[in-house]
Amino acid sequence: MTLFDITKKNIKGNFKNYLIYFISMFMCVVIYYTFVSLQYSTKIADSIESSQNMQMIFMIASIVLILFVLVFIMYSNNFFTRKRKKEIGLYSLLGLPKKTIGRMLFYENLFIGGIVLVAGIAIGTLFSKMFTMILIKLLGTELEIGMTFSLSALVHTLIVFLTIIFFTSIQGYRLIYKFKLIELFRSDQEGELEPKASIISAILAVIFLVVGYGFAFRNFSTSEEIMVNLIIMTIGVIVGTILLFDSLIIVLLKAIKKKTSYYYKGMNLISISNLVYRIKGNARTLSVITLLSATALCAFSVGFGMYHSFEQSAKQSSPFSYMFVSQSESFNKKIDTIIQDDKEHPIKAKLTLPVIKVAGEASSSKVLSDRDKQEDDKPIKIISMKDYNKAADVLGLNPVQEIDDKHAIAIRPMYTDYTFADVYQGNILKVDLPKGEDKTFEFAGMTPDRVINWSYPDIMIIVNNKMYDKIKTQVPPIHYMGYMVQGQTTTKQTANTLAGVRTPESNLLTFYSEYRVGIEGAAFNVFILGFLGLVFVMATGSIIYFKQLTEATSDKFRYDILRKIGVSRQAINNGIVKQIAFIFIVPLVVALVHYLVILGLLKRLFSAMASSDILPPILVCVIVFVTIYIIYYVLTVNSISKTVNKKSSPLIRRVSLAIVACIVAMAGIFLWFNPPTSNDDKMTVTEKIKLELPKPTGKYLVGRVDMHLVDKKRVDPWVKNTSRELMISIWYPAQQKSKTKALYMEKKAAKYFDEKSISSIGVDSGLIDLSATATNAWKDAPVAMNNKKLPVVIYSPGGSIPRNFGTVLVEELVSRGYIVVTVDHPYETSVVEFPDGRLVTEKLPSVSAETILKMMDVRVKDIRFVLNQLEYFQKGNNPDHEKRNLPAGLNKVLDLSRIGIFGHSAGGATSAQSMYEDRRLDAGIDMDGTMGHVPDHLLPVAQNGLKSPFMLMHVGYTKDGKVDSHLPNKDRNSFWKQSTGWKFDLAIPKGGHFSYTDYQVLLPQISQKLSVSSKVMEKSIGNVDSEKAIAAQKAYISAFFDQHLKGISQPIFKSPSPFKEVDLIK
């Protein structure tokens, strides 16, 4: 008989012991592999990378999981070998050499490990698929998560477990050397002492929990108080929980023991005395399980709250699946046909809502502000009660109650948290009617539920039907056409088709477009958090299962005694059922209580979670959680009952059969519904959307050459292991066209940008070909030589925005006789492509004052380096790192005695600070950029100002409804006061932060072809007329450089603005 035979026989003979060990290892592999395959799923990996919180959560999760796996396997291995000490002792006694026994144990362990790994990974693959399916079904979104079999996940799991298995195998090998023979025989007789529990710890447990809970409920107003609450709550809950299991429960159980009328009753005697041992022995495990469960539930709820708030806000801004303002009959018909043609989303309801728009006055500026009146000469929308309630019925909202002629009900404007008491109560709204008889309404109530598309200004009231009819005789209503369709979260195709026919007047909005923005990210977070939650619940369930099972095997003889002295199987089973229930229920209940308390605090922290609509999903996740525990409970009871009675009771057998059937059925359903297909179907067929830039207005053709600069004297401050290198473009007036247009963006960079950044505006990647955007620049075109030197202007883009997004303004300046140099700031810009095809992507540390100030420092050094290289170039050298040919004579037209600089956002601040540090720069413009990390970390230029000419450009309004300018901003206000040179401040109030980039022309083009959320449009470029906004920018920027670099005085700075889109700040 060879050693291998003995090993094989051992495994056969000890099958039961092996099985427990096997199962525990197997569960570890399944859980770990499931987790790792989540981590390696590319899409998820990306989304983790983009969020610091997720990174943290994942890091902590993986540490906890590895610890769990390690401890769990060590524990079960320990238990397993202890069970077998006698057997090993016997071999030794029979004269088998220690070395042989050791080798035998080693092989055995390897053998089991191998089988476990294969089986675990196979089942793990199925599990991860199943979890994915469950979660996606729960979320109900079109999440595409490529959770397929991943080779790297496999390798990762293999490495971790082979290491662990190897280690435990060595442990087995060493076992025989570590013990004396006599110890090997005695191992099973080590008696347990009766657990002691101190009353003091029990009281402390109560105190910690009460204090922790108390701080969870304590009110807070400052962020410091929030921190204090969080910290004390966390400590209280953690320490309280540990003491609870370590002492409090034991003390309570012992108190029950004193109550003899209960204690001396049937199996109570056995169960309770057993529990005292069990709980005490497992105190640490149980507290960890409790805390992990509570944390998992909280994390999932927060994720869901966020997710839900996205959906809610989409419902607020676009209550109907599709809605537009009725136009000509043919237009309405066209839209109706498009919606009808979408057979996958049948129409549930179709509604026409007449709304009257009028002018008026309010007794409070919160109800109706001056800005509202400026924005629209008829800012007030009136809807009749009948129509509102009709819409409310379709949308599943609460109807409003009848009111009289003198009263109106307000509909809360979006993006506000107005309450009736704070804003409307006691206020009066006067409505102007053209034929006189102005109506005055007092507010009788407010509803937060909107029924028409959001548009600015957002003032809407409900009046009773009689009053509405009266007003109607004077002002004809406009008609909002609303459609509700089935499955409105997936109407991408139709939304895009509709975008193609939309007109600005129709104000056509689709729910999908609003919903799409951000929902994917939020859904990912919920998915990941949910997945982690499930993995942890599974892990904790496995721990209890395994521990109870191992303890039951050692308790077996107790049950034998009971059977001998006349306790029926039934009674023993009942005892086990009760006893195990206690062990499962206590952590479950404590975890749920913790969860509810913490949730209370979180609700007050995140308003998104306060909504009552979030209750059902939270309930679902609690139910899922409890269900998984119940499954584990049934499994545990079943296994124990099997061990103790040598057969399972029929009920338990049936339940476990049912569970297995459920799991199999679920897997089946999953495979049936989601046959493995690739996701890239339709996209490749459709032609990509091409965008175009407007023609510049000046007389020159535009030429462009790209240059790769390397600053050998500077180590890159963001990555440290290489010299700082930059990509710049020089744009210059061209003599004639060259063979090819310059690409808007290099191809690889455009692809990357499309994949990573375009989704942030709610548009799918792969639809737009950015690099093919029609520019007006000719690549490497011959330089216009008319013996005139031209002033140079540097352009610095905003944070993370590639340099090409300033092309519209750059081309304009060039066409008017400037040489413009645009500069990328690598590692800070989302993507930069170098001539060798390398992509350098964003690698900034987390945002802090330190990061921002360092970023500014790097940017200024970049600009100064570019200036040096331009001087080097002017002298006839080639600064390009690859020494590529540069257009002949370009160096000769550079006039480096007149240099201006402008930039958007961070680039604007860069302009100002570069001027402050480098006298070669003569004039500059900051387009909506903060000068430093406000409020307390101002850049030196903001503290000390400039002597040279400088122009500030702003957009939008402040919180108080005033036009934004240097005045309300601490940094620019200081800059303004300290600056002694020529200075000018203007604003485009209706614009957005990105109005000063190419987005101002690109986004409206995209929204003509694809459905883009109105919210995204509003936030990025406001609702200013695109062409006029660009015209105004071109005029002011050209005028500024004309005056300060070319020395031509500009009347535009001395008169009121000729553009009604522009406000001048005095």
Q: Which residues bind other proteins (CB under 8 A)?
A: 191-194, 260-270, 273-274, 276-277, 558, 561-571
Name which of 135 and 253 has its Cβ closer to other proteins: 253
Please, what is the minimum distance in Å from the beta carbon of residue 583 to other proteins? 15
Name which of 571 and 630 has its Cβ closer to other proteins: 571
Please, what is the minimum distance in Å from the beta carbon of residue 578 to other proteins? 14
CB 311 within 8 Å of CB 519: yes
Please, what is the minimum distance in Å from the beta carbon of residue 55 to other proteins? 48
Please, what is the minimum distance in Å from the beta carbon of residue 253 to other proteins? 12
Please, what is the minimum distance in Å from the beta carbon of residue 183 to other proteins? 19
Sign of CA dihedral 770, 774, 776, 778: positive
Name which of 257 and 983 has its Cβ closer to other proteins: 257
Please, what is the minimum distance in Å from the beta carbon of residue 198 to other proteins? 19
Name which of 562 and 651 has its Cβ closer to other proteins: 562
Name which of 551 and 1042 has its Cβ closer to other proteins: 551
Name which of 268 and 553 has its Cβ closer to other proteins: 268
Name which of 645 and 1023 has its Cβ closer to other proteins: 645
Query: Count of alpha carbons within 13 Å of 834, Cβ hemisphere only?
Result: 17
Name which of 650 and 1047 has its Cβ closer to other proteins: 650
Output phi, psi for 687, to 5 deg. Answer: -75, 145
Q: Helix and strand tally (H, E) in the chain?
A: 34, 23
Vertex 188: Cα angle to 163 and 254 (nearest 5): 100
d(CA 442, CA 70): 69
Please, what is the minimum distance in Å from the beta carbon of residue 569 to other proteins? 7
Q: What is the DSSP string of 847-860?
A: P-HHHHHHHHHHHH
Size of the chain in residues: 1066
User: How crowded is residue 5: how many other Cβ atoms within 10 Å of its Cβ?
Assistant: 9
d(CA 249, CA 583): 11
Name which of 195 and 445 has its Cβ closer to other proteins: 195
d(CA 809, CA 18): 74
Report the SS3 class of residue 427. coil
Please, what is the minimum distance in Å from the beta carbon of residue 560 to other proteins? 8
Report the SS3 class of residue 734. strand
d(CA 312, CA 515): 9
Please, what is the minimum distance in Å from the beta carbon of residue 271 to other proteins? 10
Name which of 273 and 874 has its Cβ closer to other proteins: 273
Name which of 378 and 558 has its Cβ closer to other proteins: 558
d(CA 160, CA 258): 49
Report the SS3 class of residue 527. helix
Name which of 563 and 1046 has its Cβ closer to other proteins: 563
Alpha-carbon distances, residue 646 vs 569, 598, 931 (angstroms): 11, 44, 77
The tokens of 880 are what?
A: 């390009």
Please, what is the minimum distance in Å from the beta carbon of residue 262 to other proteins? 8
The tokens of 475 are what?
A: 């002002």
Buried b (16+ CB within 10 A) or exposed e, 218-235: eebeeeeeeeebbebbee
Please, what is the minimum distance in Å from the beta carbon of residue 194 to other proteins? 6
Give 239's contacts (C-beta < 8 A, 6+ positions apart). Answer: 204, 208, 212
Output phi, psi for 359, to 5 deg. Answer: -95, 170
Please, what is the minimum distance in Å from the beta carbon of residue 613 to other proteins? 50
Placement of tokens 């949910």 in the chain: 530
User: How crowded is residue 399: how many other Cβ atoms within 10 Å of its Cβ?
Assistant: 14
The tokens of 498 are what?
A: 């509709």
Name which of 561 and 585 has its Cβ closer to other proteins: 561
Secondary element (H or E) of residue 647: none
CB 1010 within 8 Å of CB 499: yes
d(CA 547, CA 27): 13
d(CA 119, CA 116): 5
CB 312 within 8 Å of CB 534: no
Please, what is the minimum distance in Å from the beta carbon of residue 273 to other proteins? 4
Report the SS3 class of residue 894. strand
CB 941 within 8 Å of CB 977: no
Name which of 561 and 719 has its Cβ closer to other proteins: 561
Please, what is the minimum distance in Å from the beta carbon of residue 96 to other proteins? 30
Please, what is the minimum distance in Å from the beta carbon of residue 553 to other proteins? 16
d(CA 283, CA 240): 12
Please, what is the minimum distance in Å from the beta carbon of residue 89 to other proteins? 21
Name which of 102 and 575 has its Cβ closer to other proteins: 575
Q: Is the peptide bond before 457 cis (omega within 30 degrees of 0)?
A: yes
Name which of 478 and 571 has its Cβ closer to other proteins: 571
Output phi, psi for 956, to 5 deg. Answer: 75, -165
Name which of 158 and 567 has its Cβ closer to other proteins: 567
The tokens of 825 are what?
A: 């700031």
Name which of 38 and 552 has its Cβ closer to other proteins: 552
Please, what is the minimum distance in Å from the beta carbon of residue 643 to other proteins? 18
Please, what is the minimum distance in Å from the beta carbon of residue 545 to other proteins? 22
d(CA 78, CA 83): 9
The tokens of 974 are what?
A: 């200081």
Distance in angstroms between the alpha carbons of the first and the last residue of the chain: 101
d(CA 128, CA 30): 9
Partners of 1063 in beta bridges: 987
